[in-house]
Structure formats: structure tokens, C-alpha cells
Amino acid sequence: MAWLRLQSAAAVLALMVIAGAAHSFEFHEATIDAIQLGFRNGSLTSTALVQSYLDQISRLNPLLRAVIEVNPDALRQAACADAARGRGQPTGVLHGVPVLLKDNIATRDALNTTAGSLALLGSVVRRDAGVAARLRRAGAVVLDKSNPSEWSEFRQVDNGWSARGGQTRNPYVLSSDPCGSSAGSGVAAAANMAAVTLGTDTDGSILCPSSFNSVVGIRPTLGLTSRAGVVSITPLQDTVGPICRTVSDAVHVLDAVIGYDEHDAAATGAASKYIPPGGYAQFLRKDGLRGKRVGVLRGFFQSYAGTQRLRVYEQHLATMRKHGAVVVDNLRVTANPTALLDDISSNEGIAVVAEFKLSINAYLADLVYSPVHSLADIIVFNNAHPIEEQMKDFGQDDLIAAQNTSGIGPVERVAIRRLKKLSANGLEKLMKEHQLDVIVTPGSDASSLLATGGHPGIIVPAGFNEQGVPFGICFGGLQGYEPRLIEMAYAFEQATKVRKPPMFKP
């Protein structure tokens, strides 16, 4: 009996030690590596981690409106992850880690997938989106969905506004733009409302909110991640990628979601040749700037002349040189960057309007159940709900324009060829002629150069302007350049360590 009492006392003491250790875990700004260390040393459980983020969402979301819906099964999933870990069956670096998904990424669970629109509320998807399925296989906990700009801002709403979620707000300066249709994911990552998040990018929708919210965003090469099960704008440009607080976290998430998907076979099959054996985490190198040729597109920096922001960028270029990069300065894709972007925008608009109708009708046709069955039905729904959908403020001119298209005809094909030509004779030619590993541009200002060619880009926090609004720096390259971009982005991040969490109080 004395032995049993001793054993019981030891068990209680062990529980007290574990409880005390769990209490000491630093949830704020926790990285995936820190989370996994906490799991291994017993100072953290997935259940405690999920509860911490749920508490943070409860505190902050009434003001920030970054989260559109919380998964009622998240704690159950966390408990299952804890049980699997207890049996010695973790499945990787994301095992038991809570992940937030943009609300245009389908999940076959209790969560809705609506792209922010009330028209899709209650719809039932046939299966998880390809990236969501991969996250589950990696052991991640699907925590919630983020508030997107409705229809990924194809409908011309304010950045971060949707009828379902309201207006997402920038946690650094509440009156500032949260930016891009993945604004909710960017804000949630910045404000520690999830461990890691996923967004989608047509033209800047990952890069821009990452820049404006002092987080890291990766726009992967087109097809590196599946778009199956995503409420898409255009398969010509759409890609799914991570938005996280560190380069390392973003790369871990990228490793989990890349790969071939039979439901997006053409794109993922073509891009699979770019995936390196062993994945991307191997390129997290502190000396990653050494020997790299960095092209500075000066035309994109001119609008910041005389500002604190430009002075910071110049310091960062000096840091890159200090760490062994060869900075090739004063490069231009064209003599007139503004004219180039206008040319891209006009042709992009022609192609995307037609592609959106095809994409949304295909998505709706694959649903098990939906209140609407076509783009025409969505337009009717909005007209029937003018207050909820704020028709007076935003209208739906682009939705109507898309409805009036009839597929990819001669005009659209000309526009698509023009975009390919602009990319081939612009960014691609420049990088090959100067043998560049990367181009560097301010924030997401050059996102169109990347998007129209299906090229990758990584935003890393770079500084704060005079008002305290964050801004990032973009490392961009050609298709398949992720390894060298990750090396440089990680080395830059480690050399500068610019990111600071928002300090506001709700």
C-alpha cells in the first residue's frame, strides 16, 4: 500500500510538473518549431494550443474581423492529435498544429466555404480542397476560416470586406488598409489568431496583405499547389500559398501542401518537376544571400523617393551586399513601368472576366448542395439581398460583365497571348540576360509581373512607415525558383529581424 501511495504521489507530481510546464509555454508568436518542441518536451498539447487561439480569436475578432467562422470540431481534432502523439504516431511538423484557411478553400466538415458571400452559405462541398486534404494528412488541425474580400475581390468591394465577415482591419493601424483578398489570413497571422494560415493569390492577394501586416507570404509557382476545391478567379494565375509570421513557418506549410492532384492534374503535373527531393525546408539557410545575384527594379522604387520607406530599402540592399549578395542595381523591365502595368492590367481584365464565369460555374456544378447554381443565380441573389450585400456601396458590375461573356473567344485569346508575351519579353528576359537569382521590389508593387507569368514571390517584413503601417520587401523569381528565393528570404529575415507583433489593445 505504501508503494501504491508513493506511485500515486509520483504520478500527481508528474502531472503537476507537466501542467506547470504547459503553463510556461509562450503562445504569443509561437513558431512551428517551438510548438513541436513543446509537444516533445511535454510543455504543450494540441488541445491547449487550439484553446489559446480560440481565446485570442474571442478577444480580437470582434474588432479585427479576420476570422469568418470557427471550426466546432477543432478541439476534438486537437484531442485526437494529442492521443496519436501519446501513441507515438505523429505525422510530421504540422501534426497537431492549428491552421486557418481562407474562406474560398473548401473543407468537407462543419465549416462553410463561401468566398465571403451569403449566396454560398449552407452549400456542401463534395470533398476537401486538395491543399486542405494535404494539411489533414500532415496532421494539422483545421481551426477556422479567414474573412476574404468577397469573391476574392473579383466583385469590387473594399479590401477585406465580405457580406459574411464584415470589414477586416489592420492590427497595426486600424484605419489602414489590410490589403488584398487574403486580408483575413494576413491579419490573423499577424495578430496571433492562428499558428499558420493559407491564402490564395491571383495578383497580389497573398503578397499585399503580407506586406501590409508584417508577415511572410509565399506566392508559389503556378501549379505547385492544387487549386482543386478552391473558389477560383482564373486558372491562368491562381495559386494557393502560406501566410505566416516567419519564413520557416511558411516553408513548413508550403512543404505540406505542394504536389500532384488528380483534380488539378494539368497544372500540378506540369509544376511537379520543380519540387526538389526532400522538400523546401532544406533551403532555410542563414548564408542564403551569399553569391546570389539580386536585381533591383528601380522603377518600382521611384514613388517612394524622399520617404522613410525608401531609406529603409536602401539599408536593406546594403545588408544584402554585406551578406555576400551581388546587387545588380538600376534595372528596368521597361522604360515606363507604369505603362507596362497598365498594359498588363487591361489584358488581364479581359481574360479574367471570362475565366471567372467559367471557374465559378464549374465550382458550383461540383457541389453536393448549393443555394445557387450559376453566376447568374449569384447576381439574382445579390439583387434580392441589397442591404446584406451592400449593393449600394459596391454594386456587382464585374459579376454582370463576367456573366455577359461566352467563354474564351478570339478577344480573350489575344489578351492571353499578350500577357504571355509581356512576361516573356519583360521579366523573364531581364532575369535571364542578367543571370539573376531574384528581383527585389517594394511590397507587392510588382505582383503583376509575377502573377501573369505564373512566377513565385516571397514577401518578408521590411519596416514601418511614418504612421506605423508595416511594409514588406518582395523576392521574386521565375517558375521553379522557390529554392533560391527561400534561401534569400530566410537569410534576409535572420539578418534583419524586422517583424514586431501589433501592440493594440481591443
User: In the chain, what percentage of residues exceed pLDDT 90?
Assistant: 92
In a domain, 5, yes or no: no
What is the distance between the alpha carbons of residues 474 and 472, in angstroms, rounded to a whole number?
7
Q: Which residue from 192, 191, 210, 190 is spatially nearest to 200, judged by alpha carbons?
A: 210
Domain membership of residue 323 as a residue range: 22-496
Q: Give yes or no for a contact between 247 and 284, defined as CB atoms under 8 angstroms apart.
A: yes
pLDDT at 335: 80
In a domain, 83, yes or no: yes
What would the mean pLDDT of 286-306 be, rounded to a whole number? 95
In a domain, 157, yes or no: yes
In a domain, 77, yes or no: yes
Number of domains in the chain: 1
pLDDT at 23: 55
What would the mean pLDDT of 215-220 be, rounded to a whole number? 98
Q: Which residue from 454, 450, 452, 459 is spatially nearest to 208, judged by alpha carbons?
A: 459
What is the distance between the alpha carbons of residues 212 and 464, in angstroms, rounded to a whole number?
9
Residue with cell 445579390: 382
Handedness of CA 222, 224, 225, 229 (dihedral sign): positive
What is the distance between the alpha carbons of residues 108 and 29, in angstroms, rounded to a whole number?
29
For residue 79, the tally of other CB atoms under 10 A from its CB is 16
Q: Which residue blocks in 65-166 are alpha helix, DSSP H?
A: 74-86, 130-137
CATH number at residue 160: 3.90.1300.10
The grid coordinates listed for 7 are 506511485
pLDDT at 14 over 60: no
**List of residues 6+ apart from 17 with CB closer than 8 A:** none
φ and ψ of 312, to 5 deg: -65, -45
φ and ψ of 162, to 5 deg: -145, 155
pLDDT at 51 over 80: yes
In a domain, 15, yes or no: no
* Average pLDDT over all residues of the chain: 94
pLDDT at 200: 98
What would the mean pLDDT of 281-289 be, rounded to a whole number? 98
What would the mean pLDDT of 87-105 be, rounded to a whole number? 94
Q: Give yes or no for a contact between 440 and 473, defined as CB atoms under 8 angstroms apart.
A: yes
Is pLDDT larger for residue 163 or for residue 15? 163
List pLDDT tens digits, range 59-91. Answer: 999 999 999 999 999 999 999 999 999 999 887
DSSP letters, 255-299, are: HHHBS--GGGHHHHHHHGGGPPTT-SGGG--TTTTTT-EEEEEGG
| Residue 1 pLDDT level (bands cut at 50, 70, 90) | very low
Rounded to two decimals, the pTM is 0.94
pLDDT at 366: 97
What is the distance between the alpha carbons of residues 45 and 35, in angstroms, rounded to a whole number?
9
pLDDT at 9 over 80: no
In a domain, 14, yes or no: no
What would the mean pLDDT of 277-297 be, rounded to a whole number? 98
| Residue 17 pLDDT level (bands cut at 50, 70, 90) | very low
| Residue 12 pLDDT level (bands cut at 50, 70, 90) | very low
What would the mean pLDDT of 232-237 be, rounded to a whole number? 96
Could you list the active site residues?
A: 102, 181, 205
Q: Which residue from 123, 133, 140 is spatially nearest to 74, judged by alpha carbons?
A: 140
What would the mean pLDDT of 454-478 be, rounded to a whole number? 97
What would the mean pLDDT of 312-325 be, rounded to a whole number? 98
In a domain, 167, yes or no: yes
What would the mean pLDDT of 322-349 be, rounded to a whole number? 93
Residue with cell 480542397: 129
Q: Which residue from 468, 414, 474, 463 is spatially nearest to 441, judged by alpha carbons?
A: 474
pLDDT at 91: 78
DSSP 3-state assignment of 166? strand
In terms of DSSP bridges, do strands 161-162 and 326-331 run parallel, antiparallel, or are they unpaired?
unpaired
In a domain, 7, yes or no: no
Burial 242-273 (b: 16+ CB within 10 A, else e): bbbbbbbbbbbbbbbbbbbbeebeebbebbee
Q: Quote the DSSP letter at residue 469.
A: -
| Residue 170 pLDDT level (bands cut at 50, 70, 90) | very high
Is pLDDT larger for residue 20 or for residue 259? 259
